[in-house]
């Protein structure tokens, strides 16, 4: 009670300043009839200002307090309005009206145009539906009543009526007594022996009979489901396994799916009612019921669809699909009565038949109704097991449908060669615009020419020449009948012939059409592009035919002969390659590369005399060719004819007299251990070619081998003076000083070399190696950082940087290297080695493969060595053999380890495979 007194204590308090009763609800300032005078006056301005001051509010500022004195309105606000003022105002109004009338027409026209544009862009809803409203005048009451009701498709949840009601007392009392226990009997229970049950004393429940009754009820239910219940109810035809399988196939649908099905059912129901002649609506409604598992409803719907749309074959086919085999036959039989010209209906009816004879009977009945259907004829012919019966059917088919190219070609395939020619001639007369018939005729001639292996070569060649003539005639006849196939279409036909095993027909098509639609100056480039694209697609015969035609037109193009030779080397036989190279050197005798390829192929085939013969012919055509002389020397040296090789070198120095021949002479003498002769040869060569750096290298290496460090140092110094831009000379001079124990001088030499050859990655890498071998890891790291600043895209330096990092940071460093070096093969190989170290075998194999992708990458032998070492450790012998095979095909020549092994005098004469195995063993 005390709290209530405190709540009402404000009634005895004085009202606050500026308080007006009812002001908050708008009850002040009004008068009623009962009031004598005006309503009570509100607080004065002084009272309001005092109240605002107590509350800490700022007083409102008078908006006219700071009125501009130049403002005439404020300035003359208190003056009287005289007659001259009125006359002045009238004059100004007339001026305004005159000015407004001058622009009124343009302004109103502009406003009307803007209003019309606005209404055209954004018409009112009333305007949009004006024509539809006018159309409602012809709607009858019956049509209006037949409009279906549309359910709620907004997918919005309707607000439920969340009304609450008071709980009755009986529920509260019952809930309270629910958990209570009675521990005493009332007086009535005590009088009636309340502890005894109504059952007989000593009776027991028989659970066996209850179980039997339950099993009997279950069996009756299963019989009812299967529809084969017996009078006794004990027998049933339900397959337990099938029943369990059907239970497993039941798909439980969620509430959302059920709701979607209901809404879709309403939509389809509205669709078929509003437009009953629309067959896709019936099909969609039936498919919906099938999806919902209501097959009976689906069949009823599709039956109604067949009645409403009897001319739609799709409805009949859907009805047949939804029924079993026997019912589907009846349905399609009815369909034939309405759409007897539908090929799909007849084919579906034939598919329902299990017996071949029944299928034939249906298809022949179909042909009676639709004799001009090519598909029905093909299906009927395919069912025939005898070639004779099929031939008879096709003969009748081409009589009925003489314009079907497929049927003519099928008949020609079943005939003998002689009769096939007659069939194709008839087909050509019936369908003169078909190029397939002409191509089939050419393939037939080729097949007949190649059928007998004992046929004389001249006869076979004459018959094959008929293929070329046939295709040429085909192109002319097709052009005469205005059938203009593009060049690309003819090339596709040629590739198709090659795929079907007719290479001569393919070649004939190329000969007759490859020059179509090509400008004379673009012929060579276009044909080379065609050959390369065909080879890329695996169509080697087409590529070979294109190059053969191009070589007939341009027989003096050595690059074209080189491409043809490469094609035969990759995909042809040794005989075909030898034929191409023989023709190439005949037409291009000055092409040294072709002579060398021919000699090398014969040498690799084991025919050394033939290789010598080729080189002798090459000498006659190119007496001063350096490459041919050196190839002859290599051939003799590799086959143990050292004296002949030495004599050839002497003759070459006399005839050709080039710096490379002198260098090879010195190398040859050094390999044979004749150091004095080698030094003499080098000295003589230096007098003739003082700017040839490799001579200084050979001279210095020979002195270094003989442990004559001062002489070697003098040779390198002379070489650096003559050829300061030769990087290898700087590296060799540095290694000589390092071998002599003068690391400081080696460092100084490399520093000087970097000044002469700035931004050179090899010199920077060698400088880093000198620091590492000197034991200065910190100096090596600093040198590497300087090198990367000067050569930011160097793959060699980035590779060294990756291995210089601690193991956890190598991967992130490799990512930076790949970005900076633009997928340099050295970085790619380094990343593969990182994956190898992490035991990521497949990734490592992929990156090793990427490191030897291009022709330039394949030339780096160290990458092949790392890959082979990896496959030896983690791959299979097949993988390792594949690596060796690819390396031999790539013929690498570069790489730090590869070059050091290849130029060692001990490894002279070893092949690529042996070198690869040695490099793989030497890599660490």
Q: What is the pLDDT of residues 701-748, one digit of tens each?
A: 888 888 888 899 999 999 999 999 999 999 999 999 888 888 889 889
Q: Decide if pLDDT at 864 tops 90.
A: yes
How far apart, in whole angstroms, are the C-alpha atoms of residue 315 and residue 333? 14
Q: Decide if pLDDT at 577 tops 80.
A: yes
Q: Decide if pLDDT at 632 tops 60.
A: yes
φ/ψ of 860, rounded to 5, equals: -90, 105
The four Cα atoms 323, 328, 330, 332 give a dihedral, to 10 degrees, of 130
Q: Which of 552, 550, 547, 585 is nearest to 566 (CA)?
A: 547
Res 77: pLDDT: 54
* pLDDT (average), residues 405-421: 78
Res 847: pLDDT: 92
Res 179: pLDDT: 65
Tokens for 74, please give them: 């404020």
How far apart, in whole angstroms, are the C-alpha atoms of residue 436 and residue 173? 97
Range in 77-81, 364-368, 622-626, 817-821 with the lowest mean pLDDT:
77-81
Res 262: pLDDT: 83
Q: How confident is the model at residue 178 (pLDDT cuts 50, 70, 90)?
A: low
Q: Decide if pLDDT at 598 tops 90.
A: no
3-state SS class at 860 = strand
* 422-431, 647-656, 763-772, 817-826 — most confident range: 763-772
Question: CA angle at residue 577 from 576 to 580, to 5 degrees?
Answer: 85
Res 121: pLDDT: 82
Distances (CA, A) of 194 to 180, 183, 190, 201, 636: 19, 13, 6, 14, 129
**Residue range 834-861, pLDDT digits in tens:** 999 888 999 999 999 999 988 888 889 8
3-state SS class at 894 = strand
**Residue range 67-89, pLDDT digits in tens:** 555 555 554 555 677 788 888 88
* pLDDT (average), residues 469-477: 85
* pLDDT (average), residues 403-426: 78
Res 235: pLDDT: 43
How far apart, in whole angstroms, are the C-alpha atoms of residue 814 and residue 843? 15
Tokens for 215, please give them: 């099993």
- Non-local (6+) Cβ contacts of 421 within 8 A are 441, 444
DSSP summary character for residue 252: P
Q: The whole model's pTM is what?
A: 0.56
Res 461: pLDDT: 80
Distances (CA, A) of 269 to 265, 314, 817: 6, 19, 67
Res 882: pLDDT: 92
Structural domains in the chain, CATH included, are 255-412 (1.25.40.10), 432-554 (no CATH), 724-822 (1.25.40.10), 824-923 (no CATH)
Residue with tokens 């060579």, as numbered in its chain:
524
Distances (CA, A) of 372 to 215, 338, 397, 430, 453: 64, 19, 8, 16, 43
Q: Which of 750, 789, 802 is nearest to 773 (CA)?
A: 750
Output 606 or 267, whichever has higher pLDDT: 267
Res 845: pLDDT: 92
Distances (CA, A) of 431 to 125, 395, 483, 484: 61, 16, 12, 15
Range in 136-145, 243-252, 872-881 with the lowest mean pLDDT:
243-252
Contact by Cβ (8 Å): 785, 802: no
| Helix then strand then coil, % of the chain, to nearest 5 | 70, 0, 30
Q: Decide if pLDDT at 419 tops 50.
A: yes
* pLDDT (average), residues 433-451: 81
Distances (CA, A) of 249 to 124, 221, 245, 246, 343: 55, 20, 6, 5, 35
* 248-252, 355-359, 373-377, 552-556 — most confident range: 552-556
Contact by Cβ (8 Å): 677, 669: yes
High-pLDDT (> 90) share of the chain, %: 7
Please state, rounded to an integer, the average pLDDT across all residues of the chain. Answer: 80
* pLDDT (average), residues 468-472: 85
How far apart, in whole angstroms, are the C-alpha atoms of residue 648 and residue 639? 14
Q: Which of 638, 622, 632 is nearest to 671 (CA)?
A: 638
Q: How confident is the model at residue 870 (pLDDT cuts 50, 70, 90)?
A: very high
Output 437 or 33, whichever has higher pLDDT: 437
* pLDDT (average), residues 607-636: 81
Q: How confident is the model at residue 512 (pLDDT cuts 50, 70, 90)?
A: confident
3-state SS class at 77 = coil
* 170-184, 352-366, 862-876 — most confident range: 862-876
State the first-to-last Cα distance of the chain, in angstroms, to the nearest integer. 99
Q: Which of 746, 782, 779, 784 is nearest to 765 (CA)?
A: 784
Q: Which of 645, 566, 582, 647 is nearest to 618 (CA)?
A: 582
């Amino acid at each position: 009670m005390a709290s209530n007194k405190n709540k009402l204590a404000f009634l005895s308090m004085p009202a606050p300043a500026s308080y007006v009763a009812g002001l908050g609800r708008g009850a002040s300032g009004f008068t009623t009839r009962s009031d004598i005078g005006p309503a009570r006056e509100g607080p004065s301005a002084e009272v309001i200002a005092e109240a605002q001051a107590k509350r800490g509010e700022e007083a409102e500022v008078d908006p006219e307090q700071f009125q501009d004195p130049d403002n005439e309105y404020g300035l003359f606000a208190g003056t009287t309005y005289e007659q001259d003022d009125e006359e002045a105002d009238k004059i100004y109004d007339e001026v305004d009206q005159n000015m407004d009338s001058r622009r009124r027409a343009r302004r109103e026209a502009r406003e009307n145009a803007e209003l019309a544009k606005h209404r055209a862009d954004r018409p009112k809803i009333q305007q949009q539906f004006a024509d539809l409203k006018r159309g409602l005048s012809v709607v009858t009451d019956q049509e209006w009543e037949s409009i279906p009701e549309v359910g709620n498709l907004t997918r919005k949840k309707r607000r439920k009526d969340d009304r609450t009601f008071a709980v009755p007392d009986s529920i509260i009392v019952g809930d309270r007594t629910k958990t209570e226990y009675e521990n005493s009997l009332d007086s009535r229970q005590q009088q009636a022996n309340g502890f005894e049950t109504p059952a007989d004393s000593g009776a027991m429940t028989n659970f066996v009979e209850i179980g039997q009754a339950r099993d009997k009820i279950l069996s009756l239910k299963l019989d009812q489901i299967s529809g084969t219940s017996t009078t006794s109810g004990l027998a049933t035809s339900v397959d337990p396994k099938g029943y369990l399988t059907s239970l497993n196939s039941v798909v439980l649908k969620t509430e959302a799916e059920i709701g979607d099905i209901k809404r879709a059912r309403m939509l389809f129901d509205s669709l078929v009612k509003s437009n009953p002649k629309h067959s896709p609506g019936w099909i969609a409604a039936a498919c919906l019921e099938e999806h919902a598992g209501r097959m009976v409803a689906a069949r009823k719907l599709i039956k109604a669809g067949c009645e409403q749309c009897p001319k739609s074959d799709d409805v009949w086919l859907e009805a047949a699909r939804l029924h079993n085999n026997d019912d589907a036959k009846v349905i399609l039989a009815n369909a034939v009565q309405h759409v007897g010209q539908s090929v799909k209906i007849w084919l579906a009816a034939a598919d329902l038949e299990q017996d071949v004879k029944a299928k034939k009977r249906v298809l022949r009945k179909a042909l009676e109704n639709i004799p001009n259907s090519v598909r029905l004829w093909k299906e009927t012919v395919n069912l025939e097991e005898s070639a004779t019966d099929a031939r008879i059917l096709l003969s009748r088919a081409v009589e009925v449908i003489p314009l079907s190219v497929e049927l003519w070609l099928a008949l020609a395939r079943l005939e003998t060669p002689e009769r096939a020619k007659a069939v194709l001639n008839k087909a050509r007369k019936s369908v003169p615009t078909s190029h397939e018939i002409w191509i089939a005729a050419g393939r037939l001639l080729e097949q007949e020419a190649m059928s007998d292996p004992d046929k004389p070569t001249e006869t076979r060649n004459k018959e094959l020449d008929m293929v070329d003539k046939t295709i040429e005639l085909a192109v002319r006849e097709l052009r005469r009948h205005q059938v203009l196939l593009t060049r690309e279409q003819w090339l596709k036909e040629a590739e198709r012939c090659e795929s079907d095993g007719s290479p001569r027909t393919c070649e004939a098509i190329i000969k007759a059409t490859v020059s179509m639609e090509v400008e004379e100056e673009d012929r060579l480039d276009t044909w080379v592009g065609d050959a390369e694209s065909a080879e890329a697609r695996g169509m080697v015969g087409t590529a070979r035919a294109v190059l053969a035609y191009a070589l007939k037109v341009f027989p003096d193009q050595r690059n074209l002969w080189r491409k043809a030779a490469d094609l035969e080397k990759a995909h042809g036989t040794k005989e075909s390659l030898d034929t191409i190279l023989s023709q190439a050197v005949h037409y291009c005798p000055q092409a040294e590369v072709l002579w060398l390829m021919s000699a090398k192929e014969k040498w690799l085939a084991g025919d050394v005399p033939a290789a010598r013969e080729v080189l002798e012919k090459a000498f006659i055509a190119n007496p001063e060719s350096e490459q041919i002389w050196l190839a002859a020397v290599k051939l003799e040296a590799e086959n143990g004819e050292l004296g002949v090789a030495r004599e050839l070198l002497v003759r070459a120095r006399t005839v050709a007299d080039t710096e490379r021949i002198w260098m090879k002479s010195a190398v040859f003498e050094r390999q044979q251990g004749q150091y004095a002769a080698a030094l003499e040869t080098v000295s003589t060569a230096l007098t003739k070619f003082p700017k040839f750096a490799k001579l200084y290298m050979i001279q210095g290496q020979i002195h270094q081998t003989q442990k004559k460090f001062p002489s070697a140092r003098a040779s390198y110094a002379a070489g650096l003076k003559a050829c300061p831009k030769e990087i290898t000379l700087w590296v060799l001079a540095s290694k000589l000083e390092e071998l002599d124990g003068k690391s400081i001088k080696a460092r100084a030499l490399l520093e000087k070399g970097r000044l002469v050859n700035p931004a050179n990655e090899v010199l920077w890498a060698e400088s880093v190696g000198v620091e590492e071998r000197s034991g200065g890891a910190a100096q090596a790291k600093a040198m590497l950082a300087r090198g990367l600043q000067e050569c930011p895209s160097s793959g060699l330096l980035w590779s060294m940087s990756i291995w210089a990092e601690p193991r956890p940071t190598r991967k992130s460093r490799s990512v930076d290297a790949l970005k900076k070096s633009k997928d340099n093969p050295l970085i790619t190989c380094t990343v593969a080695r990182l994956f190898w170290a992490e035991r990521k075998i497949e990734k490592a194999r992929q990156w090793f493969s990427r490191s030897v992708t291009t022709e330039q990458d394949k030339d780096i032998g160290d990458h092949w060595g790392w890959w082979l070492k990896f496959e030896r450790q983690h791959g299979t012998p097949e993988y390792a053999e594949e690596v060796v095979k690819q390396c031999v095909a790539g013929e690498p020549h570069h790489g730090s380890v590869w070059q050091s092994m290849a130029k060692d005098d001990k490894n002279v004469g070893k092949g690529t495979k042996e070198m690869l195995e040695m490099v793989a063993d030497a890599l660490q």
